[in-house]
Structure 1
Amino acid sequence: MLELNDLQYQPATTEQPVLKGINLRVSSGRPVLISGASGSGKTSLIEVVSGLAGEQRGTVTWKGQSLTRRQRRWLCGVLFQFPERHFLGLSVSQELKLGHRRLSTDAMHQALRRVGLSNVDLKQAPERLSGGQQRRLALAVQLMRQTDVLLLDEPTAGLDWSVRDDVLELLQDLARDKVLIVVTHEPDLFQRWECEQWKLQAGQLRALSPLAAVD
């Protein structure tokens, strides 16, 4: 279980904290959707949880153990908005291998199967994939890191409605054995998604669904 306890965060560029006493518990099997207006602190929350930014107060714990920022960076896989814009590999295979000294072809195929890309050509350039396939490849890259927590910023942004449902179904499957948190400013796009729902407003979380209010 991932627990956020009384998190407060204030970027150097703001006069007031953007996160004020954030408390949240997330378990595998129960994905969490956090909605909020642009500028409400959703991306900041992901950065703090993943260790990319440092909180001024509070703790992030995993299975009861408080984690340092460095430990959180190993624990969490992060997909910011439009992750395909940050692909560096010249091929699907190269993209999956980035950051790995030794990586078997079997491991790559296993990750691709998990995200529904079992038939993709490993030699194909990532930019030649469709929008939905690129988003799936970005998820496969995170699976290769074997992270226990997935943090996703607007994972359906820019996708056609016909592809969006497929991506949401994939996220539901990944949430079975991983802690999964999605942030969005368009909660209506997730109406059919089975998840706990919270709203981030004025730096604090408010439960929007009955499940979200349960400890």
Structure 2
Amino acid sequence: GPADSLGVSIAGGVGSPLGDVPIFIAMMHPNGLAAQTQKLRVGDRIVSICGTSTEGMTHSQAVSLLKSASGTIELQVVAGGEVSVVTGQQQDPPVSSLSFAGLTSTSIFQDDLGPPQYKTITLDRGPDGLGFSIVGGYGSPHGDLPIYVKTVFAKGAAAEDGRLKRGDQIIAVNGQTLEGVTHEEAVAILKRTKGTVTLTVLS
């Protein structure tokens, strides 16, 4: 429909911050058309858009193609479970999950407020702890959701730092992705952290 939103964020493309990697789905909006098909997954590589191959395409070319397409949009994808985007040092053994360090992706949302802002926030866990609560997770009462910040407490590392906001999505903790983890797993990962904690968040 003309008012419907595709509801995906894509990353990659020739000259992207990750290098010349294929265009892939970096995030999906739970209510977008892409999620409703139940056939697309985060990490899937987009091979062609409406019959046009994405081979050699830049990030912005792919974005404008998706934004200008109207009516039926046909995407050809390769399931990306094996796509490993590792930035910086090659990790050993290779991880078959997405590492979002230094990633810029563009959302194809109707209410486009500019690309999502990935931030790296480093918190020093003090006597009052990290100082925030989380909501969401895989298998949560509301469905399979990302992990979001629910509340930033008045005391604690997050309040002192001032950058973490209610509604921010936590992508990774100390480089460990929270993609597909349950609420309990995310809590355990956060509780296990000591000293300085690095959060990758999407505001």
TM-score (norm 1): 0.30
Higher strand share: 2
Bigger relative CO (Cα 8 Å, ≥ 6 apart): 1
Higher helix share: 1
